[in-house]
């Protein structure tokens, strides 16, 4: 698919004034991981400190098992020693169970690997803790030998719902053991009280120096106050070196090609015997890793995440064989579904106007019996409001689940197609509410044959077709292209704002102006333009659930025949309406695209200014219209085009410096000097810190700053843009 998109791009660049295209790309970062790192005050650290200790992971005993059913998105540390892969329910298609480990081109910090290239590079890895293959201890201690028939099995899938790995890409399994040497493993950290820095507030972007090594600091990602603590790097930890030997691999391919090769199955189970006596020791390890290759397009906005592999249901144990293809387990598969017919979320008062029509008649549940024989089980679901009160539920009774490898997913009607057995009632006359829906599968409890899967049904002040997870990025070309997203109301309402989720692109290549547009309906297609909000730019949030809210406050165009007032934050809508954008450049805006929920029948694009076309991509755009009462949250901030600043002169010999602001134009990797808006400069503050983290200067922005009273040395100059709440820092050397 990536080669196909590259060909389209070259064609578009040559004939962009004549032809247009809708574009689907991968993601250059993982927003879920980025959000968690921000909350934990963690940032990637390249500095290597002197080593003060060695850390050897504890060995685990057989059997080794992981089906990746967990709430967190990093691998379970009781089984794995690294955290490069992403544990999720979004990127696989029909896995053995409802959690998988996804390998791609993004590292553990949510960013594309720095060594990414169009040829091939070592990307994600998933390494087990050392495993006792020398002995077993249950039911009695005894030595292990190759004759004990030890096998490692797992399921894997290329592509899933994401980008397909290319033929030069691969997924590799290796076996290993300790060499007796030690290598750098990780940076050790310590909690540090903010009070030691002697300041009232530490802002996002401030640099804090580690008390363990004053030559190194990290940028803080959130506001800190006295009484808070922050985790700072202190030392590097050495870990045992492992010698790895490849034992299995699969070349990249599309999921369709994989299914043809695999007799239409979505996942293939692989068995690898451990027969080399060199592995029967107390520090045996196994590791999966993938080789990836990013697009070879010259434009950086096209170079994004790619080459997905999904791995699930890993089992390592003795007394097995290649015929050991079943597991004594019953499980849900996929994601728990929304109870709403069309949406993942909608305003509660809109739902209340026609609750029967907005609810599904029934659900589609995927339930699997991985055992060799039938298993008797019971299925139920229960619905609770956000105060914990029980609202309604469904009892599917008891039934025999036939083996998946013989009959597929269960076809018991009360299990596979349970009805929506109630309506969501008003709770305290509130407009916004959520309900937690828990699905339970209970078989033979003595053997642990149970499973639980949950979904949160949200009713807030917006409509959403998407589930909040972007598997791709969506965009249009050329300039002048229009995107319209259809929504239908149960009663008249007021459109207050539009939420967008934009994916970051390399060097901010999609930081381009666009116009927010609203249309009425004309026979199932976008009709007249009724609102146009000009000169908006993508704003990024390190969060899967926090979209950027664009208030409708300063229209450049209002259809007064449709809207009898041009008041800010007030666009009357009824029936069917459309929200979207009009594009100002050829560049891809890269809006989040959810591949797990299909709203393509509601996505329309127009690249000719004459004819609206339906989207050819199955999925849902991450665009949400906000309706109802007037919003109380603050209006969007004026967006500065500053990407970095330069101190001049640096080094400084007399203490007098000036600041010059820069940005990356278009897709260029080379920054250019710019002039900021006056409203930004008027609310800009300058801070200077010494290497002890003490603030030695504070003042409003001026063309020239006098620091001649400071001693010679290295200082950190921080620019705080109060309009956009953006902070940037640079080092300054004052010398004679």
pLDDT, tens digit, 9 for 90 and up, residues 184-198: 777 777 777 877 777
Instruction: Quote the Cα angle for 433-435-438, to 5°.
Output: 170
In terms of domains, do 412 and 496 share one?
Answer: no
In terms of domains, do 144 and 247 share one?
Answer: yes
CA distances from 152 to 29, 169, 329, 532 (A): 32, 23, 18, 59
Please choose, from the candidates 623, 617, 625, 578, the residue with its C-alpha nearest in 3D space to the C-alpha of residue 596: 617
The proportion of the chain whose per-residue pLDDT surpasses 90, expressed as a percent, equals 49
Q: Give the pLDDT band (50/70/90) at residue 1.
A: very low
561: left (phi over 0), alpha (psi -120 to 50) or beta: alpha
- Most confident listed range (2-11, 221-230, 576-585): 576-585
Those residues with Cβ within 8 angstroms of residue 399's Cβ, 6 or more apart along the chain or in another chain: 376, 377, 378, 379, 410, 412, 414, 415
Average pLDDT, the chain: 83
Q: Give the pLDDT band (50/70/90) at residue 543.
A: very low
Residue recorded with tokens 């691998």:
75
Alpha-helical (H) ranges within 284-443 are: 348-353, 355-358, 404-407, 413-416
Supply the CATH number for residue 406's domain.
Answer: 2.60.40.10
427 or 359, higher pLDDT? 359
- Residue 10, pLDDT score: 29
Tell me the average pLDDT across 522-538.
90
pTM of the model: 0.74
Residue 362 inside a domain? The answer is yes
Q: Which of 627, 658, 687 is the last residue of a domain?
A: 627
In terms of domains, do 123 and 263 share one?
Answer: yes
Tell me the average pLDDT across 369-396.
95
319 or 6, higher pLDDT? 319
Q: What is the pLDDT of residues 581-623, one digit of tens each?
A: 998 888 788 898 999 999 999 999 999 877 899 999 999 999 9
Does 7 score more than 60 pLDDT?
no
Does 222 score more than 70 pLDDT?
no
Instruction: Quote the Cα angle for 190-196-197, to 5°.
Output: 105
Please choose, from the candidates 286, 165, 227, 217, the residue with its C-alpha nearest in 3D space to the C-alpha of residue 49: 217
116 or 10, higher pLDDT? 116
Residue 18 inside a domain? The answer is no
Residue 194 inside a domain? The answer is no
Residue 147 inside a domain? The answer is yes
**Reduced 3-state DSSP string for 155-212:** EEEECCCCCCCCCCCEEEEEEEEEEEEEEEEEEEEEEEEHHHHCCCCECCCCEEEECC
SS3 659: strand
Those residues with Cβ within 8 angstroms of residue 167's Cβ, 6 or more apart along the chain or in another chain: 251, 252, 253
**Reduced 3-state DSSP string for 423-461:** CCCCCCCCCCEEEEEEEEEECCHHHCCEEEEEEEEEECC
405 or 677, higher pLDDT? 405
Tell me the average pLDDT across 70-93.
91
Tell me the average pLDDT across 691-700.
78
Tell me the average pLDDT across 215-224.
71
The proportion of the chain whose per-residue pLDDT surpasses 70, expressed as a percent, equals 83
Supply the CATH number for residue 97's domain.
Answer: 2.60.120.260
Q: What is the pLDDT of residues 99-111, one digit of tens each?
A: 999 999 888 776 7
* Dihedral sign, Cα of residue 73, residue 74, residue 76, residue 77: negative
Tell me the average pLDDT across 665-680.
67
CA–CA distance, 18 with 51 (Å, rounded to integer): 61
In terms of domains, do 77 and 170 share one?
Answer: yes
- Residue 439, pLDDT score: 97
Please give the residue range of the domain that contains residue 575: 478-627
Instruction: Quote the Cα angle for 731-734-736, to 5°.
Output: 155
589 or 316, higher pLDDT? 316
CA–CA distance, 597 with 199 (Å, rounded to integer): 48
Does 12 score more than 50 pLDDT?
no
Q: How would you class 544 by CB atoms within 10 Å of its CB: exposed for 0-12, middle for 13-18, buried for 19 or more?
A: buried
Backbone angles phi, psi at 535, to 5 degrees: 55, 55
Does 537 score more than 70 pLDDT?
yes
Residue 39 inside a domain? The answer is no
679 or 497, higher pLDDT? 497
- Residue 693, pLDDT score: 63
- Residue 81, pLDDT score: 92
DSSP 502: B
- Most confident listed range (5-14, 525-534, 646-655, 703-712): 525-534
DSSP for 467-489, please give it. -S--SEEEEEESTT-EEEEEEE-
Q: What domain count does the chain have?
A: 4
In terms of domains, do 619 and 646 share one?
Answer: no
Residue 195 inside a domain? The answer is no
Q: Give the pLDDT band (50/70/90) at residue 544.
A: very low
In terms of domains, do 611 and 703 share one?
Answer: no
In terms of domains, do 507 and 556 share one?
Answer: yes
Q: Give the pLDDT band (50/70/90) at residue 246.
A: very high
In terms of domains, do 415 and 272 share one?
Answer: no
In terms of domains, do 443 and 556 share one?
Answer: no
In terms of domains, do 511 and 533 share one?
Answer: yes
Q: Which of 627, 647, 672 is the last residue of a domain?
A: 627
Those residues with Cβ within 8 angstroms of residue 254's Cβ, 6 or more apart along the chain or in another chain: 1, 158, 159, 164
Those residues with Cβ within 8 angstroms of residue 567's Cβ, 6 or more apart along the chain or in another chain: none
Q: What is the pLDDT of residues 21-44, one digit of tens each?
A: 776 766 556 655 555 544 444 444
- Residue 114, pLDDT score: 77
SS3 300: helix
- Residue 44, pLDDT score: 41
Give the pairing type, strands 51-54 and 229-251. Answer: parallel
CA–CA distance, 360 with 170 (Å, rounded to integer): 41
Please choose, from the candidates 273, 252, 250, 268, the residue with its C-alpha nearest in 3D space to the C-alpha of residue 149: 273
Q: Give the pLDDT band (50/70/90) at residue 651.
A: confident
Q: What is the CA radius of gyration of the chain?
A: 28
- Residue 411, pLDDT score: 96
Tell me the average pLDDT across 544-571.
71
- Residue 49, pLDDT score: 42
Q: What is the pLDDT of residues 263-313, one digit of tens each?
A: 889 999 999 999 999 999 999 999 999 999 876 554 454 456 688 999 999
36: number of CA atoms within 13 Å, CB side?
A: 11
Please choose, from the candidates 444, 225, 227, 415, the residue with its C-alpha nearest in 3D space to the C-alpha of residue 329: 444
Those residues with Cβ within 8 angstroms of residue 619's Cβ, 6 or more apart along the chain or in another chain: 471, 472, 474, 593, 594, 595, 596, 597, 598, 599, 600
SS3 645: strand
- Residue 692, pLDDT score: 65
Q: Which of 627, 648, 680 is the last residue of a domain?
A: 627
In terms of domains, do 529 and 395 share one?
Answer: no
Supply the CATH number for residue 673's domain.
Answer: 2.60.40.3580
Does 557 score more than 70 pLDDT?
yes
Contact by Cβ (8 Å): 483, 581:
yes
In terms of domains, do 616 and 517 share one?
Answer: yes
Bridge partners (DSSP) listed for residue 73: none
Tell me the average pLDDT across 628-647.
63
Residue 165 inside a domain? The answer is yes
Residue 509 inside a domain? The answer is yes
């Amino acid at each position: 698919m990536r080669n196909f998109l590259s060909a389209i791009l070259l064609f578009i660049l040559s004939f962009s004034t004549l032809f247009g295209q809708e574009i689907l790309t991968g993601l250059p970062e993982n927003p879920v991981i980025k959000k968690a790192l921000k909350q934990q005050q963690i940032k990637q650290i390249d500095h290597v400190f002197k080593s003060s200790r060695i850390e050897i992971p504890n060995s685990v005993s057989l059997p080794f098992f992981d089906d990746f059913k967990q709430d967190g998105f990093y691998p379970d540390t009781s089984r794995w020693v690294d955290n490069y892969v992403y544990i999720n329910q979004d990127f696989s298609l029909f896995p053995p169970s409802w959690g998988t480990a996804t390998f791609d081109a993004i590292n553990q910090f949510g960013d594309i690997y720095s060594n990414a290239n169009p040829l091939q590079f070592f990307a994600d890895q998933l390494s087990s803790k050392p495993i006792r293959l020398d002995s077993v201890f249950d039911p009695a201690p005894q030595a292990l030998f190759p004759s004990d028939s030890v096998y490692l099995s797992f399921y894997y899938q290329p592509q899933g719902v994401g980008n397909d790995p290319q033929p030069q890409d691969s997924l590799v399994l290796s076996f290993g053991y300790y060499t007796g040497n030690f290598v750098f493993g990780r940076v050790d950290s310590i909690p540090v009280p903010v009070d030691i820095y002697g300041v009232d507030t530490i802002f996002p972007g401030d640099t804090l120096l580690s008390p363990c090594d004053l030559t190194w600091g990290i940028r803080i990602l959130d506001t800190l106050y006295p009484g808070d603590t922050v985790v700072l790097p202190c030392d590097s930890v050495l870990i045992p070196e492992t010698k790895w030997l490849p034992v299995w691999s699969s070349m990249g391919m599309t999921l369709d090609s994989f299914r043809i090769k695999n007799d239409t199955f979505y996942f293939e189970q692989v068995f690898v015997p451990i027969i080399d006596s060199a592995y029967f020791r107390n520090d045996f390890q196994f590791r999966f890793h993938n080789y990836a290759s990013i697009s070879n397009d010259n434009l950086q906005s096209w170079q994004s995440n790619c080459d997905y592999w999904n791995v699930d249901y890993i089992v390592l144990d003795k007394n097995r064989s290649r015929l050991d293809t079943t597991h004594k387990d019953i499980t849900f598969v996929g994601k728990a579904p929304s109870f709403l017919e069309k949406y993942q979320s909608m305003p509660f008062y809109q739902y209340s106007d026609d609750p029967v029509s907005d609810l599904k008649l029934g659900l589609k549940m995927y339930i699997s019996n991985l055992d060799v024989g039938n298993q008797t089980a019971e299925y139920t679901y229960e619905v609770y409001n956000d105060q914990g009160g029980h609202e309604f539920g469904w009892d599917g009774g008891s039934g025999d689940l036939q083996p998946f490898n013989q009959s597929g997913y269960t076809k018991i009607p009360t299990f596979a197609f349970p009805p929506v057995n109630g309506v969501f009632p008003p709770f305290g006359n509130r407009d916004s509410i959520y309900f937690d829906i828990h699905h339970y599968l209970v078989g033979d409890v003595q053997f642990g044959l149970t499973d639980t899967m949950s979904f949160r049904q949200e009713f807030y002040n917006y409509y959403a077709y998407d589930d909040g997870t972007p598997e791709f990025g969506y965009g249009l070309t050329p300039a002048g292209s229009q995107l319209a997203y259809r929504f239908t109301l149960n009663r008249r309402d007021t459109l207050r704002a539009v939420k967008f989720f934009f994916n970051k692109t390399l060097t901010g290549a999609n930081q381009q102006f666009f116009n927010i547009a609203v249309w009425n309906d004309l026979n199932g297609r976008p009709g007249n333009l009724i609102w146009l909000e000009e000169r908006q730019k993508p704003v990024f949030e390190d969060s899967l659930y926090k979209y950027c809210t664009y208030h409708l406050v300063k229209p450049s165009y209002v259809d007064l025949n449709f809207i009898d007032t041009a008041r800010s934050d007030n666009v009357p809508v009824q029936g069917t309406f459309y929200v979207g954008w009009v594009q100002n450049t050829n560049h891809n805006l890269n809006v989040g695209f959810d591949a797990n929920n299909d709203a393509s029948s509601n996505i329309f694009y127009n690249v000719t200014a004459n004819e609206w076309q339906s989207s050819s991509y199955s999925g849902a755009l991450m665009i949400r219209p906000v309706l109802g009462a007037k919003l109380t949250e603050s209006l969007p901030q004026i967006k500065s085009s500053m990407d970095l600043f330069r101190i001049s002169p640096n080094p400084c010999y007399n203490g007098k410096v000036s600041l010059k602001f820069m940005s990356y134009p278009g897709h260029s990797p080379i920054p250019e000097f710019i002039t900021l808006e006056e409203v930004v400069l008027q609310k800009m503050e300058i801070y200077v810190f010494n290497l002890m983290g003490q603030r030695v200067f504070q003042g409003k922005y001026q063309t020239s700053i006098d620091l001649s009273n400071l001693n010679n040395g290295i200082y950190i100059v921080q620019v705080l843009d109060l309009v956009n709440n953006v902070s940037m820092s640079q080092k300054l050397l004052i010398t004679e």
